[in-house]
């Protein structure tokens, strides 16, 4: 083996052993194993269902359909307002009594997911749609 080949092999071996440690030090937890879990945050009825597109969309709604949560910090009725949309149409809002944690998490940029977990025919609009909000949590190991 020539000196040049030996040095090239040795340098490659040395770099291969030290590079992961250097990258770990520079990037911190990026190279740690992380697991993503979804935790149920809240379950609640849709507020204002009767005032928006809820009634007209009722025949198309089904359990396990995804909903979109949209933060409305400039809402004149509630500074913590979180709108609930289905396929681009407003169904209503997260009830005022239930929106504190959701609005704070959204303001922090956390990942939340919402879906319809129950539908019930009722004259009371508060009993029509049940929504579940889940929070994405990364667990580093």
Residue 102 burial (CB < 10 Å; 0-12/13-18/19+)? Answer: buried
Q: Has residue 22 got a pLDDT over 60?
A: no
* pLDDT tens, residue by residue, 102-122: 999 999 999 999 999 999 998
* pLDDT tens, residue by residue, 44-91: 999 998 899 888 899 999 999 999 999 999 999 999 999 999 999 999
Distance CA 45, CA 2 (A): 76
What does the pLDDT read at residue 65?
97
Q: What angle do CA 65, 35, 130 make, to 5 degrees?
A: 25
Q: Has residue 20 got a pLDDT over 90?
A: no
Distance CA 1, CA 43 (A): 70
């Amino acid at each position: 083996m020539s000196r040049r080949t030996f040095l090239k092999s040795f340098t490659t071996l040395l770099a291969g052993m030290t590079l992961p440690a250097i990258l770990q030090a520079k990037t911190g937890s990026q190279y740690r194993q992380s697991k993503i879990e979804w935790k149920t945050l809240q379950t609640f009825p849709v507020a204002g269902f009767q005032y928006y597109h809820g009634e007209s969309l009722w025949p198309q709604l089904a359990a396990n359909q995804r909903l979109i949560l949209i933060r409305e910090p400039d809402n004149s009725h509630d500074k913590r307002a979180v709108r609930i949309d289905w396929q681009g149409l407003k169904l209503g809002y997260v009830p005022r009594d239930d929106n504190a944690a959701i609005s704070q998490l959204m303001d922090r940029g956390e990942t939340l997911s919402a879906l319809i977990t129950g539908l019930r025919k009722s004259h009371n609009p508060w009993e029509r749609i049940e929504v579940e909000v889940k929070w994405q949590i990364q667990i580093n190991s």
